Structure 1
């Protein structure tokens, strides 16, 4: 294979085949974090030949949550692929392969056989799936185990789902601050929530305990803050426990009471069981805070703001 163009084509075909193999491998192992890297931001799914209905478009996250809300409910999932066909036309990869899927639950098994059809495009030098269709050829066994598997997955969500719910709660918290939506802000806390602020300036609480006290703590936020942005540079770092999340984000806020800009870099450690924030340790530099609120170091203000994000 001396022709450079032939070599590049062969590399693309190998990479595309690896993506498709990676999909079913992630299905079988329950690895939804790795599965996310194989799909584009939005994807069109068509399983109408298997479940009825029509094709639908979803975000990658929505589709991952759908799979994570079903497949972990089975005792074992196994996919086998064969007969790959890959061609590339105007930057779009059109790929087909045969598939046999076996899903086990207790003493029952459901086996489906059919054809996968994929469309992929290259993003950041990596092939990503943006369209996926399954064409059913035959099925055997107990289709009724699907609903049982959904119930089991809902009752015992996998770590992927818990981690995504924890991250979603953090996003709701920050969005509520941006939008001055105090009802939404109150809703993110558990009843026994605690916010720990080890670097708070003098005169400002370093710990706030209980949902009602946290609501009071943030009550003056709409009057203190103008335009605010906490989510443009939000980044999550996974932790061993899916209900714990560390978030890094910047804050850019117009402080109405002083006319100054509050620019901050935050580190936030969150414990989010069952989708509610139970613990939040907020790391921030107190110097930008003092500047924004015009507070002299070492001096307790006569009138201190009752809320700080």
Structure 2
């Protein structure tokens, strides 16, 4: 049975929310890429290949934001059967501060032969910038101990 592009993208959303790095990387084509066209400083513009994606997600995936749910998920199938556009609201918690996190996302996926060739993640960078600043502020405000 052939898996549709829509089913692959639904699976990617699920493993992304669950921060299942291994399953996430397996859904990517060996030379596939993730792009963030709108991003704050310090976030890479593009990750290419499973190894680079795995390294980035392992280093940052479980340490910054815990996603509790994706709400109002709408998948748009296009006239190109390889392209799926997804809109959703990501809700979670900034791990270091316990602050709520809310992100609006539009993502464009290209799926070929059951693997994601490209994943362009058009996030609203402002919530991410606020979360990064709150973590930096909480780290700076932490008391230091003298010797």
Fold in common (TM above 0.5): yes
Cα distance between partner residues in 1 of 2:134 and 2:44: 15
* Superposition deviation, residue 283 in structure 1: 0.6
Map of 1:307 onto structure 2: none
Map of 1:241 onto structure 2: 80
User: Normalised by the size of structure 2, how large is the TM-score?
Assistant: 0.82
* Bigger radius of gyration: 1
Task: Identify which of structures 1 and 2 has the higher relative contact order when contacts are C-alpha pairs closer than 8 Å and 6+ apart.
Answer: 2
Q: Secondary structure of 2:63's partner?
A: helix
Q: Is the 8 A contact 2:65 2:101 kept in 1?
A: no
1:85-124 aligned within 5 A: none
Structure 1: 5+ residue stretches without partners:
1-153, 155-160, 297-309
Once the two structures are superposed, residues 106-139 of structure 1 have per-residue CA deviations (whole angstroms, 9 ceiling, x without a partner) of xxxxxxxxxxxxxxxxxxxxxxxxxxxxxxxxxx
Runs of 4+ in 1 over 4 A off after TM superposition: none
Q: Is the 8 A contact 1:194 1:209 kept in 2?
A: yes
Please point out which of 147, 167, 172 is paired with 2:6: 167
1:12-51 aligned within 5 A: none
Structure 2: 5+ residue stretches without partners:
136-147
Map of 1:89 onto structure 2: none
* Superposition deviation, residue 236 in structure 1: 1.2
Map of 1:178 onto structure 2: 17
User: Normalised by the size of structure 1, how large is the TM-score?
Assistant: 0.41
Once the two structures are superposed, residues 193-224 of structure 1 have per-residue CA deviations (whole angstroms, 9 ceiling, x without a partner) of 11111101112111111111111121131232
* Superposition deviation, residue 170 in structure 1: 1.4
Q: CA RMSD in A?
A: 2.0
Q: Secondary structure of 2:79's partner?
A: coil
Cα distance between partner residues in 2 of 1:205 and 1:169: 24
Please point out which of 17, 32, 41 is paired with 1:193: 32
Map of 2:141 onto structure 1: none
Please point out which of 58, 69, 79 is paired with 1:229: 69
Cα distance between partner residues in 1 of 2:33 and 2:66: 26
Map of 2:115 onto structure 1: 276
* Superposition deviation, residue 227 in structure 1: 4.4
Once the two structures are superposed, residues 178-203 of structure 1 have per-residue CA deviations (whole angstroms, 9 ceiling, x without a partner) of 22222211211110111111101112
- CA gap of 1:202–1:295, structure 2 versus 1, over 3 A, is farther
Once the two structures are superposed, residues 115-173 of structure 1 have per-residue CA deviations (whole angstroms, 9 ceiling, x without a partner) of xxxxxxxxxxxxxxxxxxxxxxxxxxxxxxxxxxxxxxx6xxxxxx66xx211111111
Once the two structures are superposed, residues 78-97 of structure 1 have per-residue CA deviations (whole angstroms, 9 ceiling, x without a partner) of xxxxxxxxxxxxxxxxxxxx
